Structure 1
Amino acid sequence: MPAFNPDKDIPDLSGKVVFVTGGTSGIGKEIVLFLVSHNPAHIYFTGRNEEAGAAVVAAAKAKGPSTEITFVKCDLCSSRAKIRQAIAEGFKSDRLDIFIANAGIMAAPPGLTEEGFELQWGSNYLGHAVILQLLRPVLLRTAESGADVRHIQVTSYGHNYAPPGGIQFENLRKADAVGDFARYGQSKLAQILFCKAMVKRYPQITSVPVHPGVGNTNLLRNTKQSWLKSVLSAVSFLLKSAAELAYNPLWAATAPLQKLENGQYYEPVGKKTAPSKLARDEALADKLWEWTSNELNDVEAL
């Protein structure tokens, strides 16, 4: 397992443009604050809370005054039209080197997105798929220039707890067809499979799913899994801080390209690991890609 110190090991990022979802708190905020110290040209980050976004912008400018910082107010559980509007209004760059799909929720109570999808599916998977569809042409143009372009999905070991079959496509518009944690596992499995599908179709973009570890963030804020809260509380001394949880996504986003294998799953930090059998299922990855493409066929790229 490679040692990783983001202060020392992230290279100079001059000229690079970065987009991070869920950057107003937790892992996403730490990713923004670590990256800005290494001189990227521009960091865009999303979130729902404007006040929190402004605070991150101020903190980032203090650490990296030469980097442009832009907060994009965007709710991944809103309609695709609203997501598109938010990205179109907020993202004003002709290049994009690093896209980090970080935002997410875990074991949330039953609920539906604005368009009627299960809440965790919408937040963790589908909302990111919409953004990637919008930004993929920019990523591809950047790659065509010879740049090292990366797409990082912050997934979870929790993908192992997906329901039977992995993704229950017939139940994606039902709030509680399976338990809270199974719905979470389904969404996290989809993130891994999506990277596999991306590699097959767009190998010029390095697509890597990473597990950040288990730690002390607000991810559990909405969960009603009292047993899970109790277990994590009992072992709180073992939990990583949000900054430490950012290490693996940061490693995947910035390590020398020869240290990464496109489409592979990495546990902290930089340890290539075999994910679940379902996460290695090529047919399931293709089915997810087809479902996603059909679902988003009306989303016009930027």
Structure 2
Amino acid sequence: MPPFNPDKDIPDLSGKVAFITGGTSGIGREIILFLASHNPAHIYFTGRNEEAGATVVAAAKAKGPNVEVTFIKCDLCSSRAKIRQAIAESFKSDRLDIFIANAGIMATPPGLTEEGFELQWGTNYLSHAVILQLLRPVLLRTAESGADVRHVQVTSHGHNYAPSGGIQFENLRKPDAVGEFARYGQSKLAQILYCKAMVKRYPQITSVAVHPGVGRTGLLKNAKQSLIKSFFSATSFLHKDAAELAYSPLWAATAPLPKLENGQYYEPVGKKAGPSKLAGDEALAEKLWEWTNNELKDVEALL
């Protein structure tokens, strides 16, 4: 028997509101469909493709006819102003119980976001920090009402590939200061460190990072074909489908609260793991928090 069966183990979610990034395909789509089967009040999700978004909305409504489902067209490589506008126009809830930072890219060729950050850093880490800055007041108000509020970062065992020092703050606007997997690794390391920093400041929100496992999703669609071939040939014995890859974030978002330890890193499914030494570096977590706050000081939260 699997350690987690989302059909049976996710409790009734009546009244709860969830927000998932990257929900039009892969893990994000599966998270939405599983959640929709358990009667939440509203699911918001982001993506770039409106047609795919509409398909997911329809599929989620088929799973849970009474669930409100809202697609937010939002490119996480775009500017923080555009991200804010997209969310402000569509997110109309006075509560938020579950936030899952799922969207991500891996091992992409050198590139920059619209605001000039290395592509994987901007997409995997910074865009989610922007969204959390926008939605944090809603999360906190929900927690203050006595609700169980979860913040889940879908990170990766690949955080071990981070470059020397973990995060090269001086190179975050350079597209190719280090290799593809090192750039990926530092973005995934940042997601773990961000959870640790969150716990210090907002312990009323349960913040955990999870590795979903290895499988074929859209994660590698922009990577070099040679990298894809070598990656999958080396890890073929570990491959899972997108639905099974969704189990880890779903567990973190819905398992009984006593099973989670705030600020920790989990591997599939629900196994607290020892991340890299850098991922446990409190000083690095504080430096990241300070860098992020300074970078996002002009981002006005949604109230």
> TM tier, shorter chain?
over 0.9
Counterpart-to-counterpart distance in 2, 1:169 and 1:30: 34
1:300 aligns with 2:300: yes
Unmatched 5+ stretches in structure 2: none
What is the percent sequence identity of the aligned residues? 86
CA RMSD of aligned residues (A): 1.2
Do the aligned partners of 2:214 and 2:235 also contact (CA within 8 Å) in 1? no
Give how far 1:218 is off.
Answer: 1.4
What residue in structure 1 maps to residue 37 of structure 2? 37
What residue in structure 1 maps to residue 104 of structure 2? 104
Do the aligned partners of 1:47 and 1:74 also contact (CA within 8 Å) in 2? yes
Give how far 1:231 is off.
Answer: 4.0
Give how far 1:235 is off.
Answer: 4.9
SS in structure 2 at match of 1:59? helix
Counterpart-to-counterpart distance in 2, 1:9 and 1:216: 25
Counterpart-to-counterpart distance in 1, 2:231 and 2:21: 28
Give how far 1:149 is off.
Answer: 0.2
Describe the superposition over 1:126-175 as per-residue Cα deviations: whole angstroms up to 9, x where unpaired: 00000000000000000000000000000000000000000000000000
Aligned length: 302
SS in structure 2 at match of 1:285? helix
Describe the superposition over 1:169-222 as per-residue Cα deviations: whole angstroms up to 9, x where unpaired: 000000000001100000000000000000000000000000000011111111
- TM-score, length of structure 2 as denominator length: 0.98
With over 3 angstroms needed to count, the CA separation of the structure-2 counterparts of 1:168 and 1:233, relative to structure 1, is same
Describe the superposition over 1:32-89 as per-residue Cα deviations: whole angstroms up to 9, x where unpaired: 0000000000000000000000000010111100000000000111000000000100
What residue in structure 2 maps to residue 258 of structure 1? 258
Give how far 1:230 is off.
Answer: 3.0
In the TM superposition, 1:17-32 aligns within 5 A as 17-32=17-32
What residue in structure 1 maps to residue 157 of structure 2? 157
What residue in structure 2 maps to residue 198 of structure 1? 198
Counterpart-to-counterpart distance in 1, 2:229 and 2:36: 33
Return the letter of the residue paired with 2:202.
Y
Moved over 6 A (4+): none
Give how far 1:90 is off.
Answer: 1.1
What residue in structure 2 maps to residue 14 of structure 1? 14
Do the aligned partners of 1:220 and 1:229 also contact (CA within 8 Å) in 2? no
Describe the superposition over 1:240-287 as per-residue Cα deviations: whole angstroms up to 9, x where unpaired: 000000000000000000000000000000000010000000000000
SS in structure 2 at match of 1:248? helix
Counterpart-to-counterpart distance in 2, 1:149 and 1:252: 11
Counterpart-to-counterpart distance in 2, 1:292 and 1:220: 26
Counterpart-to-counterpart distance in 2, 1:220 and 1:295: 28
Return the letter of the residue paired with 1:294.
N
Do the aligned partners of 1:2 and 1:270 also contact (CA within 8 Å) in 2? no
What residue in structure 1 maps to residue 67 of structure 2? 67
Give how far 1:91 is off.
Answer: 0.5
SS in structure 2 at match of 1:99? strand
What residue in structure 2 maps to residue 230 of structure 1? 230
SS in structure 1 at match of 2:151? strand
Give how far 1:227 is off.
Answer: 4.0
Give how far 1:225 is off.
Answer: 5.9
In the TM superposition, 1:44-83 aligns within 5 A as 44-83=44-83
With over 3 angstroms needed to count, the CA separation of the structure-2 counterparts of 1:225 and 1:283, relative to structure 1, is farther
Counterpart-to-counterpart distance in 1, 2:47 and 2:289: 26
Counterpart-to-counterpart distance in 2, 1:237 and 1:207: 30
Do the aligned partners of 1:134 and 1:301 also contact (CA within 8 Å) in 2? yes
Give how far 1:226 is off.
Answer: 1.2
With over 3 angstroms needed to count, the CA separation of the structure-2 counterparts of 1:197 and 1:17, relative to structure 1, is same
Describe the superposition over 1:68-126 as per-residue Cα deviations: whole angstroms up to 9, x where unpaired: 00000001110000000001001010000000000000000100000000000000000
1:186 aligns with 2:196: no
Return the letter of the residue paired with 1:241.
D
Counterpart-to-counterpart distance in 2, 1:161 and 1:235: 16
What residue in structure 2 maps to residue 92 of structure 1? 92
Counterpart-to-counterpart distance in 2, 1:234 and 1:212: 18
Do the aligned partners of 1:216 and 1:239 also contact (CA within 8 Å) in 2? yes
Counterpart-to-counterpart distance in 1, 2:231 and 2:126: 30
Give how far 1:224 is off.
Answer: 1.3
Counterpart-to-counterpart distance in 2, 1:127 and 1:224: 23
SS in structure 1 at match of 2:215? coil
